[in-house]
Amino acid sequence: MKKPFLTLLFLVLLPFLAVSQTENRKDYRNFPLTLSIQFHAFSMPFKNFKTNFQNIGIGLGTEVSHSSKHNWVQEFSLIWVRNKTIGNGLFFLTQTAWRPYLSNPVFGEFKAGIGYHLAFRPRDSFKMVDGNWESVGKKGKGMLAIPLGIGLGSNHYSENIYSSPFINYQFMLLKGFNKTVPIIPETLIQLGTRIHFNSQIQ
């Protein structure tokens, strides 16, 4: 198992070696449908990769370019993750992403943003009411999320419908866990694709 994780680590660090390539031709279409599989862990970055693959989720999203080109975009994501240990959760994220071409159509990706995490308890909880314990179910709590990500992808632009597959690694800090531990770390490994439709919306 160690070799695949080292390979993944190399791939997500590779963008740091990239030099952005400027292209004059059109290479992007706004508002793609982003579909992804998410692998979640309560972990510091680049630790416990095995744990990520024990907790699977899905993601939906879209994005819009800041420059009418591929290199600067604003992402909007809704992510659901299943985690038996710490509880399931929903992420609502927006991130600004820079995507320098490594060798067309392959690009690296760096992104950062802000979001909201709705975390659910892994099992029923109870609270004291008038001297008796009453169930509050698995009701969760909301936390501020600060995500940072790096990744690789392919953007082979076409005037027709085309897809842009990617792999990302995200590290997040969540604020508001509890009074004793106010900030906690979580990670996501993301595999997915952006489907760019043949649309007049630009």
pLDDT digits (tens, 9 = 90+) for 38-52: 999 999 999 989 999
Q: Tell me the two tokens of residue 71.
A: 């290199």
Beta bridge partners of 115: 93, 145
Report residue 107 CA to chain centroid gap: 17
Query: What is the rounded average pLDDT for all residues in the chain?
Result: 85
Q: What kind of fold does domain 2-15+31-196 have according to CATH?
A: Porin (2.40.160)
- Hunting for tokens 């990302």 — which residue is that? 168
pLDDT surpasses 60 at 19: no
Biggest CA–CA distance in the chain, Å, is 71
Model confidence at 84, pLDDT cuts 50, 70, 90, reads confident
Kindly state the percentage of the chain with pLDDT values over 90. 61
| 42/15 Cα distance (integer angstroms) | 25
Domain extents in the chain: 2-15+31-196
Burial status of residue 128 (CB atoms within 10 A of its CB: 0-12, 13-18, 19 or more): exposed
Residue-wise pLDDT for 115-127, tens only, equals 999 998 755 555 5
> Model pTM?
0.80
Question: Helix, strand, or coil here: 16?
Answer: helix
Q: What are phi and psi of 34, to 5 degrees?
A: -100, 120
Angle among Cα 187, 188, 191 to the nearest 5 degrees reads 160
| 5/121 Cα distance (integer angstroms) | 29
Q: What are phi and psi of 37, to 5 degrees?
A: -105, 135
Model confidence at 85, pLDDT cuts 50, 70, 90, reads confident
Beta bridge partners of 33: 195
How do strand 89-98 and strand 106-119 relate by DSSP bridges? antiparallel
